């Protein structure tokens, strides 16, 4: 089965530093997403991306966050100046179609971000 690949699996950074989380979505997928899960909490939507632009974002996705698809295969999430509360597991996901076909959402195995 095709899979979404995320790197690194773990990232430790100092507060105030910039981090870039990387994802390689499934090759024929058109819709890309970032979700996050703080330890012990629910999975939360951050942002969706289609046709090289953000289609939706949550209130969590403030000016410190940005996404990019720099080369047609990678999909990145950048946090400009990390805060302690950014510590979480970040999941990338992709789907072939948007809308109701969210049931075909494929998640990557996640990047555990720890901000010290």
Partner 1 sequence: RKEVEQDPGPFNVPEGATVAFNCTYSNSASQSFFWYRQDCRKEPKLLMSVYSSGNEDGRFTAQLNRASQYISLLIRDSKLSDSATYLCVVTMAQGGSEKLVFGKGTKLTVNP
- The binding site for partner 1 (CB under 8 A) comprises 35, 41-45, 48, 50, 55-56, 58, 89, 91, 98-100, 102-103, 105, 107-110, 112
Find the shortest distance in angstroms from Cβ 81 to partner 1: 26
Q: For the chain, what's the residue count?
A: 116
Find the shortest distance in angstroms from Cβ 16 to partner 1: 26
Beta-carbon contacts of 105 under 8 Å, excluding residues fewer than 6 positions away, are 33, 93, 94, 95
Nearer to partner 1, 62 or 103 (CB): 103
Nearer to partner 1, 72 or 99 (CB): 99
How far apart are alpha carbons 32 and 17 in whole angstroms? Answer: 25
Find the shortest distance in angstroms from Cβ 82 to partner 1: 21
Beta-carbon contacts of 111 under 8 Å, excluding residues fewer than 6 positions away, are 6, 7, 8, 9, 10, 11, 21, 89, 90
């Amino acid at each position: 089965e095709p899979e979404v690949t995320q790197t690194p699996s773990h990232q430790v950074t100092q507060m105030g530093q910039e981090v870039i989380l990387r994802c390689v979505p499934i090759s024929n997928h058109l819709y890309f997403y970032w979700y996050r899960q703080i330890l012990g909490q629910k999975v939360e939507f951050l942002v969706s991306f289609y046709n090289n632009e953000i289609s939706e974002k949550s209130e969590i996705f403030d000016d410190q966050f940005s996404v990019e698809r720099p080369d047609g295969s990678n999909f990145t999430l950048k946090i400009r100046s990390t805060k302690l509360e950014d510590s979480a597991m970040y999941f990338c996901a992709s789907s072939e179609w948007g809308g109701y076909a969210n049931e075909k959402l494929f998640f990557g195995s996640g990047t555990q971000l720890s901000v010290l």
